[in-house]
Chains A and B, each alone.
Chain A
Amino acid sequence: MYNTDTNIFKTHLRVITLLMSCAVCVTTFAQTQVAKDSVPTQESKSFYENTKSIAETTVGIIKSAAVGVEYRLKAGIAVGGTSPLPVPEEIRGLNSFNPGLNLSIEGEVVKLFDNTYGLAFGLRLESKGMETDARVKGYQITLDQDDQQIAGYFWGNVKTKVDNAYLTLPVLAVWKPADRWAVRGGLYGSYAFRRNFSGLAYNGYLREGDPTGTYVEIGESNGLYDFSDQVRHWFWGARVGGEWQAFTHLLVGADLTWGLNSIFPKDFEAIAFKMFPIYGTLSFGYRF
C-alpha cells in the first residue's frame, strides 16, 4: 500500500546499505593509501609526487593491460524518474518531485582487447524509485483497492510512488580515448525483485467510465491505487556513460540508463500510457 515499506524492502535496503558502506570504505582506504604514499618532503614535493603517482599509475595500467582483465567493485547513487514518454498533455505540472535515495552496488569485469577497446560485464543490485505529485486534467486513471476498482477520468492531483529494486546485467562496449578515460555504452537486462507502483488521486473529481460519466468528487484520502503486482519483472534498456580513473584503484563514473520497455506489460490498461525508467547514476569504483 502507498506509504508503507514492506519488511522485504527493509531487508533489501539493509543489504544494499551494507554493501555500499563496504565499497565506500574500500575506496576511501585506497584514496588515503595513495595520499599517504605521496606525502613528500618539502624540497622534492612536486617532483616526487609526480613521478611517484605517474609511476604507480603506469604500473597499474601496464599490469592490467598485460593481463587484459580488470575486476571492479562499484557503488552508485542514482537520480531519475519513471515517466511516460512523451509526457501526456493531461499532466499539467508537478507539485513536487522527490527522487528518493536510489543506491546501487555493482561487480564488474572489464576485458580489454587492446589498450583502446574492450567489453564490460557486470552484475548490479540497484533500486530505482521516485515520488511525484502532479496536477492533472482529464487523466485516465483506475482507483483500486483489493478486488474493487473505479476507472475513469480524473481532474485534480495525483501522487505516484515508484520503488523498484532490480538485479541487473549490463553488457557494455568500452572505448578508451585516453589512458584514464573510458566511454562505455551498451544494453542491460534487469529482473525486478521488488516492485512498487502505487499512489493517490486527491482533491479533485472523477468522471466514472468516460468524461461524460458519473461525476464523483474525490477528497483527501480515498482515491488510492496500487498496481505493484502488475509491474513487469523483466526490463531491458540502454546504458551510456563515461569513466575516469582518478587514482590507481579509484574510478569515478557517470551513466545514463534508459529503459526501453514500459514498466507495465502491454495488456495493462489501468494507466493509459507507457512509462519508462530513466535514471542517471554517479558511481565510485574500486579497481582491483
Chain B
Amino acid sequence: MLKHLHRRALRMSILLMAVFLFTTCTQEPLNKEADITEITIPDMPAGMIIGSPTIHPSLNTSEIVIEVKGIYQPGMLSPQFVLTAGATISPASGTTLDFSDEKEQHYTVTGEDGKWKRTYTIVVRPQFVRSEFNYNFDLFEKYNENHASSYKFDVFYELTPTGAKEYIWGSGNQGFALTGGSAAADKYPTYATTDSKSGTAVCLVTRSTGAFGALANMPIAAGNIFLGTFDASSAMKDPMKATRFGIPHTVGEPQEVTFWYKFLGGSYTDKVTGETVLDWPSMYAVLFEPEIDANGNIVLLDGLNVLTAPNIISAAQMKKEDIVRSETTVKEVGEAEFTFASIPFIPRREFDYQKLINGNYYITIVFSSSYKGDTFEGYVGNTLIVDEVRLITKTAEE
C-alpha cells in the first residue's frame, strides 16, 4: 500500500514537472490528416485539363473527376500528387495507370501518424458537351451511398451518354448536415419528392438551423438547388461563399428558362425594419464569364455576387409579382397545383459565340425556398417544389 502510494507520488511529481515544461518540451504530434491537396498529370498534353492544369480537389470529396477536353482520349497516365504533410499514397505518386474509357483508379492516402486513411477514386473524363438542357430531378442518391459518411440526404445527379453520374447540382444540404446530420432525407432543406410533374421533383424547404445557426446569425437555411457545387468548408465561417455557382456552358446562347413549380409560404419579421413581410422563393439563371485567378483557377460566382458580378453576360430572374402563392387556396403543399413558368434571359453584356465555343462561359440555374435565404431571413416552412427545368438556347445560325 505504502509502496503504491510512493509510486503514485513519484508519478505525480513527474507529471507536475510535465505541466510546467510542456509548452517547450512536448513533441509535435504526427499529422493525422490524409488528403490529396494537388494533382498534376505531366504526361498529359498541355491544355487538355478543363480549368487550371494543377487540380486542387475539394477536401470534402473522395471522388475526383478530372475533366478533360472532348477531343482528348485519355490512356495510360501518371498522375502526381501533393498530400497533407507527411502523408503517403498508394499506388505511389507518379505510378502509370490506365485511365482510358473513364476507368476508375483507386488510391489510398495514409496520414503521417498511420492511423487515418482516405480512399480516393479518380476518373479522367472527356467533357460531355450537353446540347439539350432538360433537368427532371428524377435521378438522386443518398449522400452516404457514395461517401464514407452517415448522412442520408438526397444528392441529385445527371447522366452522361456513357452512363457516368454527373454531380452538377449543388445544395446546402452538406452544410445543414453539420448540425442536423442524423436527420432523415426529407428533414433536410433540399430533398426529392414524388409530389411532382413527372417522376420525382426537388422539394426545397426553409429550415431552422437551431442553436449553432442562431449563434452564427444564420438562424435559417433555405432549401436550395443550383448548377454548381457546395463547398462545406466555408459553411460555418463564411456561408455566402459556400455556394459555388456555375458549370461550363459551351452550346447555344441561353434564351429562357422554363420549369414547373408550386409554392406554399409564410411571412417573417424583417431584421432591419421590424415589419412583417411575406417570404418568397427565388428562381433565376445566370450566364457569366468567370475570371481566372493568379493560379490559373476559374473563379466561380458565389452567394455574394451571383446576381451583381460585372462579368455576368445575361441573367433571367423570376419577378416576385409573377410568382403564384398557393396558400390562399390550399393548406398543404400536396394539394397545390403546379404552375408553369418561363423567364427570359436579359442581356447585360454582349454575347460572343467564339467565347462560347472556347469554353469561356459558365451558367447556373438557382432555386431557393426563401428569396432572402442568402442573408438568413425567411419563413421557416416556406416550401418550393420544382420539376422539369428546361434551358432554351439558340445557336448562331438561328
Contact = CB atoms under 8 A, between A and B. Distances in A.
Contact of A218 (B15, B118, B214, B236): B236
Given A85-B18, A212-B118, A222-B216, A258 B12 contact: yes
A224 interface: yes
B211 A87 contact: no
B28 A148 contact: no
Given A86-B15, A215-B60, A222-B215, A208 B178 contact: yes
B33 interface: yes
Given A147-B210, A214-B60, A216-B232, A278 B118 contact: no
Given A87-B18, A89-B29, A216-B236, A211 B60 contact: no
A92 B28 contact: yes
B233 A216 contact: yes
| Secondary structure of the A contact surface, majority rule | strand
Interface string A135-155: 001100001011110100100
Interface string B213-247: 01110000000000000001111111000000000
Nearest to B84: A211
A224 B213 CA distance: 12
A119 B232 CA distance: 62
A88 B211 CA distance: 30
Which of A150, A217, A223 has the most chain B CB within a 10 Å cutoff?
A217
A214 B237 contact: no
B63 to A, nearest CB: 14
Q: Which 7 A/B pairs are nearest by Cβ-Cβ distance?
A: A145-B211, A211-B32, A219-B237, A146-B211, A87-B22, A215-B59, A217-B237
A214 B33 CA distance: 11
Contacts of A143: 212
Contacts of A221: 215-216
Given A137-B29, A218-B236, A219-B238, A211 B34 contact: yes
A57 interface: no
Contacts of A217: 233-234, 236-238
Contacts of A207: 33
Interface residues of B, number: 42
A137 B28 CA distance: 9
Nearest to B14: A86
Interface of A: 81, 83, 85-94, 137-138, 143, 145-148, 150, 153, 205, 207-208, 210-219, 221-224, 258, 278
A219 B210 contact: no
Contacts of B117: 212
A57 B31 CA distance: 64
Contacts of A258: 12
6 contacts: A88-B26, A137-B28, A214-B149, A216-B237, A218-B236, A219-B238
A93 B22 CA distance: 8
Contacts of B177: 214
B23 interface: yes
B237 A89 contact: no
Contacts of A94: 23
B232 A215 contact: yes
Nearest to B147: A214
B12 A148 contact: no
A211 B179 contact: no
A9 to B, nearest CB: 22
B4 to A, nearest CB: 13
A89 B116 contact: no
Given A89-B27, A217-B234, A222-B216, A212 B34 contact: yes
Contacts of B33: 138, 207, 211-212
A276 B211 CA distance: 30
Interface string B160-193: 0000000000000010011110000000000000
Contacts of B179: 148, 150
B252 to A, nearest CB: 37
